[in-house]
Amino acid sequence: MTTFLHDTTTIFRREFVPVVREPLGLVFEMGQPLLFLFLFGSLLDGAVGASWQWFVPGILVMMCLTGPLSSGYNLLVELIGGSMERLMVTPVDRTALLIGRALKEMTILFAQAVLIIVLALPLGFELHLAGAVAGVALLVVFGVGLGSLSFVLAMRSAPSGELFYVVTQGLLFPLLLLSGVLLPTDSGPAWLRVVGDVNPVTYIVEAQRALFAGDLTDVSVLYGAAMSFAVAALGLWLGNRAMRRGV
């Protein structure tokens, strides 16, 4: 267990140090959510009732999809190069290789979420602290699961990597658009609502909206939490299995 913690810290540090060395990269990565926040948020103002209350959770979920989903990219690059193989020949714990990386994604996601919330406050976003804390926590859980799935995809895609790009790009927009993250689907045609109902992201968004409205006991929170933990469990299980099997 102590080796596992030691190894997880080692891998986390390895991944995190470059972020600290070049923090600007983090800001660029946030360009899209920030642009969406200021541009669409202002456009939607008044169109969907309490716009910021509705829109900020959506932006957070969007960030939580794009970031973790593409987090396998770095791993893919390391798999195509020789650095992952080099780590696999060291006695470092294989599960730590996964958890250390996932922890870095978690930390970044957390920082980004807090930043978005803070930036939205002066725009008129109303903060319900308990709900916001629960919301961000759920997002991080969901993000870890999604990030691990992205790692698995990267491992399956090496050495060409084609599969990785096809799946992430093919998945991202349908998941986003058909979940009501950015635009409400309530007034859409019936098929859209049916598709929305099978989209796991829909449950996450609805839970987030309830939580950020301070509605901690809303039933959507239960569904959203169940979905987040299910994705996390599945991701970590598959990720761990893939890492142990080797590259």
Partner 1 sequence: MIHARGLTRVFTMKKARVEAVRGIDLDVEAGQLVAFLGPNGAGKSTTLRMLTTLLPPTSGTATVAGRDVARDPAGVRARIGYVGQKNSAGENHRVRDELVTQGRCYGLSASEARDRAAELLALLDLEPLADRKPGTLSGGQRRRLDIALGLIHRPALLFLDEPSTGLDPRSRADIWAHILRLRETYGTTLFLTTHYLEEADSMAERVIIIDNGTIIADGTAGQLKNDLAGDHITITTHTERDAAEAARIAGATADGLTVTSRVAGAASALPELLRTLEAAGVKVATAETTRPTLDDVFLALTGRSLSDDDLPA
Residues that bind partner 1 (CB under 8 A): 3, 6-7, 10, 13-14, 17-18, 21, 74, 77-78, 81-83, 85-92, 246-247
Exposure pattern of 131-165 as b/e (b: 16+ CB <10 Å)? bbebbbebbbbbbbbbbbbbbbbbbebbeebeebe
In angstroms, give the least distance from the CB of 58 to partner 1.
31
Q: In DSSP terms, which residues pair with 46 in a beta bridge?
A: 49
Please identify, using beta-carbon distances, which residue of 26 and 195 lies nearer to partner 1.
Answer: 26
In angstroms, give the least distance from the CB of 16 to partner 1.
11
Tokens at 146, concatenated: 């999604």
237, 245 Cβ separation under 8 angstroms: no
Report helix, strand or coil for 231: helix
Q: In DSSP terms, which residues pair with 49 in a beta bridge?
A: 46
76, 154 Cβ separation under 8 angstroms: yes
Please identify, using beta-carbon distances, which residue of 16 and 229 lies nearer to partner 1.
Answer: 16
In angstroms, give the least distance from the CB of 161 to partner 1.
14
Please identify, using beta-carbon distances, which residue of 21 and 190 lies nearer to partner 1.
Answer: 21
Please identify, using beta-carbon distances, which residue of 81 and 174 lies nearer to partner 1.
Answer: 81
In angstroms, give the least distance from the CB of 159 to partner 1.
10
